[in-house]
């Protein structure tokens, strides 16, 4: 079977995927459909595969060296975000999480307050604590169109003495791409209160049609002199296990600061990760473009299927990435519907509560793992990022044409294997 297709998902059967040994496929028993951790079931992009096989064949498996990475990233950043990056401001870090933490260690005193926004990527709080800083939560605001930054809440936290702000944009789990105007307000506040902004932009290469991602450090550097963007090829090209990310300084002073990171931070990156990232940034954009077409289709297909089969579930399609943040409160399954879906439907979703107490009643579904037929999910939407989404709008009793809660929960009943959302068993 050729692995150089134009549909990045069109390669592996479910049986083949079950032979994988990564977290996604190794965590649950074989009767569970894993749709939790943010890994995709894609075949590797051909340029990445070539680079990795060539390295293995020449026995090139020593320590990582950043040669070529900064220039490749700068090329990608310019083509994707119209962002001019000075390669001198790009530093290799082992992964995005370690990159964020090391920047916090470098730029804030021990014990200082670091602001995050629940719903938050679950490792944020434990990582901040592990590095000896305190988490200050400014929860996102829920609006009919999705989730927004609480700019007033951020100002209060900054004024109260926070030293840093860990911004996640595009946002996991909501898939929100924050507006430039909001980011500019954040930058202005950060300057006023002398707060370091560390922007996790791991999902940025997966920005979907209709949305525009603004790299935080691409904002005017006079406005945001103490900012760092941390980003990688890991999510977009599915190479998280290879360990490579970059931290990009937003100013000359921050570049000088990052230059003082311990050399060991760089050494802990994966050599194969660096080679894969260079191949991705340099030659992987056509593959990524195909992937985004597929993910755009998936987010619309999910909208259609939920509307038809689970209208009580609230869903605002993501503006970036492949994670769907689903409000299951209307199903009457309590604060932790993921437990019910796992027990009854044998589908593993991420638990909403892991993203914060405001995640009660939610689940996160990974849409980067399913087959979607060409033309599927073509419903027209009114708004650029895939439509205004649907708010939960019915009680469990009258919510769905499906016969009862157990049927609703069978594999989340996104098609009960009969619909277009089902796996292609080959
Ligand atoms: C927003 C966000 N940041 C960081 C990570 C982890 O990235 P890494 O494996 O590079 O630490 C993820 C993984 O899904 C993520 O979604």
Looking up residue 88, the CATH number of its domain turns out to be: 3.40.640.10
Say which CATH number the domain at 342 has. 3.90.1150.10
Domain boundary among 260, 283, 306: 283
Residue nearest to atom 12 of ligand 1 (CA): 202
User: Is the pLDDT reported for residue 20 higher than 60?
Assistant: yes
- Residue nearest atom 2 of ligand 1, based on CA coordinates: 202
Cβ contact 341:404 at 8 Å: no
57, part of any domain: yes
Q: What is the pLDDT of residue 9?
A: 67
Query: Cis omega (within 30 of 0) on the bond before 325?
Result: no
Give the residue with greater pLDDT, 303 vs 7.
303
Asked whether residue 278 is domain-assigned, the answer is yes
Q: Are residues 17 and 74 in the same domain?
A: no
| Cα 96 to ligand 1 centre (Å) | 6
Is residue 423 one of the residues assigned to a domain?
A: no
Among residues 283, 312, 340, which one ends one of the domains?
Answer: 283
Q: Are residues 271 and 374 in the same domain?
A: no
Residue 263 domain-assigned (yes or no): yes
> What atom in ligand 1 is closest to the CA of residue 234?
10
Same domain, 274 and 325: no
Residue 412 lies in a domain: no
- Compute the distance from residue 416 Cα to the ligand 1 centre, in Å: 30
Domain count, the chain: 2
Residues 108, 177 within the same domain: yes
**Model confidence pLDDT, tens digit, residues 88-143:** 999 999 999 999 999 999 999 999 999 999 999 999 999 999 999 999 999 999 99
Percent of the chain with pLDDT over 70: 84
Tell whether 224 and 293 lie within a shared domain: no
Pick the residue with more confidence: 205 or 5? 205
Give the other-Cβ count within 10 Å of 328's Cβ.
30
How many whole angstroms from 97 Cα to the centroid of ligand 1? 6
Task: Return the pLDDT at 376.
Answer: 36
- Domain, as residue range, for 400: 8-43+286-407
Query: Which residues are near ligand 1 (CB < 6 Å)?
Result: 38, 95-97, 121, 168, 172, 200, 202-203, 232, 234, 240, 245
Q: Specify the residue with its C-alpha closest to ligand 1, atom 14.
A: 38
What is the position in ligand 1's atom list of the atom closest to the CA of 98? 11
Q: Does a structural domain hold residue 102?
A: yes
Gap from CA of 202 to ligand 1 centroid (Å): 6
Domain shared by 222 and 95, yes or no: yes
User: Is the distance from CB of 424 to CB of 13 less than 8 angstroms?
Assistant: yes
- Is 419 exposed, middle or buried, given 0-12, 13-18 or 19+ CB atoms closer than 10 A? middle
Q: Domain for residue 177, yes or no?
A: yes
* Residue matched to tokens 């939610």: 362
Same domain? For 69 and 25 the reply is: no
Alpha carbon of 231 to ligand 1 centroid (Å): 9
Average pLDDT of the residues in 134-155: 96
Ligand 1 centroid distance, CA of 76 (Å): 19
Nearest ligand 1 atom, CA 97: 11
The alpha carbon of 171 and the centre of ligand 1 are apart by a number of angstroms equal to 11
* Domain match, 252 and 333 both: no
Higher pLDDT, 125 or 345: 125
pLDDT band at 406 (very low <50, low <70, confident <90, very high): very low
Question: Is 378 a domain residue?
Answer: yes
Q: Which atom of ligand 1 is nearest to the CA of 37?
A: 14
- pLDDT surpasses 60 at 405: no
- The predicted model scores a pTM of 0.89
Q: Ligand 1 pocket test: which of 172, 177, 246 has the largest number of ligand atoms within 8 Å of its C-beta?
A: 172
Residue 401 has pLDDT above 50, yes or no: no
- pLDDT score of 70 more than 50: yes
Lowest-pLDDT range, 87-91, 180-184, 315-319, 407-411? Answer: 407-411
- Of all atoms in ligand 1, which is nearest to the CA of residue 171? 1
Same-domain pairing of 321 and 373: yes
Q: Examine the domain organization and report whether 279 and 305 are in the same domain.
A: no
> Last residue of some domain: 235, 266, 283?
283
Distance 106 CA to ligand 1 centre (A): 20
Q: What average pLDDT does the chain have?
A: 87
């Amino acid at each position: 079977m050729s692995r150089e297709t134009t549909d990045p998902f069109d390669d592996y059967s479910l049986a083949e995927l079950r032979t994988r040994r990564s977290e996604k496929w190794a965590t649950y028993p074989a009767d569970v459909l894993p749709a939790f951790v943010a890994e995709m079931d894609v075949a590797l992009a051909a340029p990445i595969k070539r680079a990795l096989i060539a390295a293995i064949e020449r026995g090139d498996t020593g320590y990582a060296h950043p040669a070529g990475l900064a220039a490749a990233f700068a090329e990608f950043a310019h083509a994707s975000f119209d962002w001019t990056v000075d390669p001198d401001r790009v530093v290799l870090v082992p992964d995005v999480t370690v990159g964020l933490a090391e920047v916090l260690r470098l730029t804030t005193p021990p014990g200082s307050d670091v602001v995050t926004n629940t719903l938050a990527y679950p490792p944020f709080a434990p990582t901040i604590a592990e590095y000896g800083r305190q988490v200050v939560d400014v929860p996102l605001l829920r609006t009919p169109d999705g989730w927004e930054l609480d700019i007033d809440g951020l100002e209060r936290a900054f004024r109260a003495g926070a030293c840093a702000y860990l911004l996640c944009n595009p946002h996991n789990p909501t898939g929100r791409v924050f507006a430039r105007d909001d980011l500019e307000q954040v930058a202005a506040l950060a300057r006023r209160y002398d707060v370091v902004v560390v922007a996790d932009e791991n999902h940025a290469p997966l920005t979907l049609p209709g949305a525009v991602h603004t790299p935080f450090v691409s904002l005017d550097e006079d406005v945001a002199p103490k900012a760092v963007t941390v980003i990688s090829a890991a999510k977009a090209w599915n190479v998280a296990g290879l360990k490579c990310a970059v931290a990009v300084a937003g100013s000359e002073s921050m570049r000088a600061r990052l230059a003082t990171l311990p050399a060991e931070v760089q050494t802990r990156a994966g050599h194969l990760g660096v080679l894969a990232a260079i191949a991705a940034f340099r030659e992987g954009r056509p593959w990524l473009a195909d992937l985004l077409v597929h993910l755009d289709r998936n987010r619309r297909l999910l909208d259609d299927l939920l509307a038809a089969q689970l209208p009580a579930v609230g869903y605002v399609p993501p503006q970036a990435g492949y994670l769907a943040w689903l409000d299951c409160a209307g199903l009457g399954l309590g604060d932790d519907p993921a437990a019910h879906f796992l027990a009854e439907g044998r589908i593993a979703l991420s638990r909403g509560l892991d993203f914060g107490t405001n995640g009660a009643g939610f689940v996160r579904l990974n849409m980067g793992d399913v087959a979607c037929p060409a033309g599927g999910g073509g419903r027209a939407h009114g708004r650029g990022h895939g439509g205004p989404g649907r708010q939960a709008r019915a009680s469990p009793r009258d919510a769905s044409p499906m016969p009862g809660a157990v049927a609703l929960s069978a594999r989340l009943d996104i098609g009960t294997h009969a619909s277009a959302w089902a796996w292609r068993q080959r």
